[in-house]
Amino acid sequence: AEKKRRRKASKMEKTFVMIKPDGVQRRLMPEIIRRFEEKRFTLKGMKMMSVERDLAEKHYEELSGEHVFGRLVDYIVSSGPVVAMIWEGENVVETVREMIGHTRPSDCEYATIRGEFGIDKIRNVIHGSYSLEIANKEIALWFPEGPLVWDKKINNHWHKFD
Ligand code: IDP
């Protein structure tokens, strides 16, 4: 029983998070990373990058029929770099979405990232995967270089949290 409980407790998942160009420009990167670190999620990969049109279109594929698609892709491609990240933890996909808040910042609880910092529907600071299935797709899309070096076993006894 002990073994079974342990296996259940260690059910880890990963999600994809992107600090959007407005979040980078407004220097919200440390604030955002601090929140996820303090929630004890583990940063598994991170890169600052400018986004090619092709990548932006693939990322927002689901919205390709919507009127906002062109504006959204233009915004991501031409407003400056983004920070792409992989975060790992228990129930991380759903929890990160809750910490981010509603798409429209004016509809957010105050204590969410968008509630506190979001300006409008396009400039809403941050993206987080909607579901585990989408998270896996987005991680593959944004980190095509494959398994991250961080996934290799490392000697980390000196910064164990518990
Ligand atoms: P999400 O980012 O909360 O998952 P989605 O509906 O997946 O929301 O939309 C993706 C992004 O597209 C939003 O974060 C926002 O930047 C933009 N967006 C969505 N709907 C609108 C709109 O009606 N006007 C402007 N931008 C929008």
Burial of 43-65, coded b for 16+ CB within 10 Å and e otherwise, reads ebbbeeeebeeebbbebbeeeee
- Bridge partners (DSSP) of residue 89 are 13
pTM: 0.87
- State pLDDT tens for residues 37-91: 999 999 999 999 999 999 999 999 999 999 999 999 999 999 999 999 999 999 9
pLDDT at 156: 60
Main-chain dihedrals φ then ψ at residue 140, nearest 5 degrees: -65, -40
Task: State the ipTM, two decimals.
Answer: 0.91
Angle (CA) 115 119 123, round 5°: 110
| Residues in CB range of 31: below 8 A, 6 or more apart | 117
Average pLDDT over residues 96-119: 92
What is the topology classification, in CATH, of domain 2-144? Alpha-Beta Plaits (3.30.70)
Q: Active-site residue numbers? A: 127
| Spatial separation of the C-alpha atoms in residues 61 and 67, rounded to whole Å | 13
Residues 60, 61, 62, 68: what is their CA dihedral angle, to the nearest 10 degrees?
Answer: 60
- Bridge partners (DSSP) of residue 15 are 87
Ligand 1 atom 11 nearest Cα: 122
- State pLDDT tens for residues 125-159: 999 999 999 999 999 999 998 766 656 566 666 65
Q: How far away, in angstroms, is 124 Cα from ligand 1 center?
A: 8
Average pLDDT over residues 97-112: 90
In this structure, what token pair is assigned to residue 65? 């029929």
pLDDT at 3: 57
pLDDT at 2: 57
Amino acid at 2: E
Quick check: 7 pLDDT over 90?
A: no
pLDDT at 105: 86
pLDDT at 158: 62
**Least confidently predicted of 10-14, 72-76, 114-118:** 10-14
Pocket residue to mutate for ligand 1, from 72, 129, 131, most atoms within 8 A of Cβ: 72
Average pLDDT over residues 116-128: 94
60 neighbors 70 (Cβ within 8 angstroms):
no
pLDDT at 9: 56
Q: How far away, in angstroms, is 146 Cα from ligand 1 center?
A: 28
| More confidently predicted of 17 and 107 | 17
